[in-house]
Structure 1
Amino acid sequence: MYDKNISPVGWYVGSYLIRFIELESQDNDDLEKKFLSWENTIIVKASNLDEAYNKVVEVAKLDTKPYKGGPKGVPVQWVFEGITELLPIYEELEDGAEIIWAEHKPKKLKNLRKLVMSCHELKQ
């Protein structure tokens, strides 16, 4: 029986969100404060979506140990906020294998072309 939540190849792609805090700041839980954040995307081998979810959480939490940052050695930490996306991979991993896709609402051609970048633009 087909289940869209199960990867036939045993791989899942997941994204998670972490935010940066200074540990001594009093407003780290202020819902209106702006924080630097990273959304990281990884692949995990798992037999089902629940196992994949747990593995993504486990990997994400590896990045959340406190440390001293900057020239002044301020106590800082990346805080795990949660999983933002988790999808089964349906094809064997090889060149050209599709692992994630997104559907976009109809847009004018000029706006579609703003979404794409050259190789030079992609280099940071």
Structure 2
Amino acid sequence: MQTKIPFRNRAPHGWWVATYILRAAWDDQAEPVEDEACCAWENTILVQADHRETAYSKAQIFAAEACTEFEDLADPPRKGRWVLEGLTSLLPIYEEFEDGAEIIWTEYASIPVQKIRSWIRPKERLEAFDDTPGRAELG
């Protein structure tokens, strides 16, 4: 018997937010050991699906499609590829899309006010205002 899916795990408007982790792997290196440092990207995407199982499957497909090859043109040049480690989050979007609509939320139970305030950044430290040369460029 299938149990009813709680409202919190349904997307009333058919949209989901999925987050996944990609790890950079160099072609000239062996598979890393568990405690070895590496470059990783956490990517968050929108997925359109009527059901959480479909959203999960589509998120896995989109994440796998991000596993492309790349090249570092330093001396000597190196080739590598992005390896999918997996999904870290899959959340329904409860509101219709419009300016100011909430798309992601996180609940923090019993957290000190000081900790919350430590997360706040001034405008110039927000990612959209970081124009530091040498940061990853897209496009």
Which interval holds the TM-score relative to the shorter structure? 0.7 to 0.9
Q: 1:51 aligns with which of 51, 54, 68?
A: 54
Q: 1:32 aligns with which of 35, 44, 68?
A: 35
Contact 1:5–1:48 (Cα < 8 Å) also in 2? no
Q: In structure 2, do the counterparts of structure 1 residues 119 and 40 end up closer, same or farther at CA, with 3 Å as the change threshold? A: same
Using structure 1 for the length normalisation, give the TM-score: 0.87
CA distance in 1, matches of 2:50, 2:28: 41
CA distance in 1, matches of 2:53, 2:73: 38
CA distance in 1, matches of 2:73, 2:56: 33
Contact 1:20–1:35 (Cα < 8 Å) also in 2? yes
Asked if residue 117 in structure 1 is aligned to residue 121 in structure 2, the reply is: yes
Higher alpha-carbon deviation: 101-110 or 32-41:
101-110
Unmatched segments (≥5 aa) in structure 1: none
Deviations 1:48-91 (A, max 9, x none): 11111122122212221223223233121110010000011111
Alignment of 1:60-75 (within 5 A): 60-71=63-74, 72-75=76-79
Q: In structure 2, do the counterparts of structure 1 residues 5 and 105 end up closer, same or farther at CA, with 3 Å as the change threshold? A: closer
CA distance in 2, matches of 1:70, 1:84: 31
Residue 103 of structure 1 aligns with which residue?
107
Contact 1:9–1:91 (Cα < 8 Å) also in 2? yes
CA distance in 2, matches of 1:65, 1:43: 19
Structure 1 segments of 4+ aligned residues over 6 angstroms from their partners:
none
Aligned-partner residue type, residue 42 of structure 2: E
Q: State the number of aligned residues.
A: 123
Using structure 2 for the length normalisation, give the TM-score: 0.79
SS in 2 for 1:4: helix
CA distance in 1, matches of 2:106, 2:80: 35
CA distance in 1, matches of 2:42, 2:70: 20
Sequence identity (%): 33
CA distance in 1, matches of 2:60, 2:42: 13
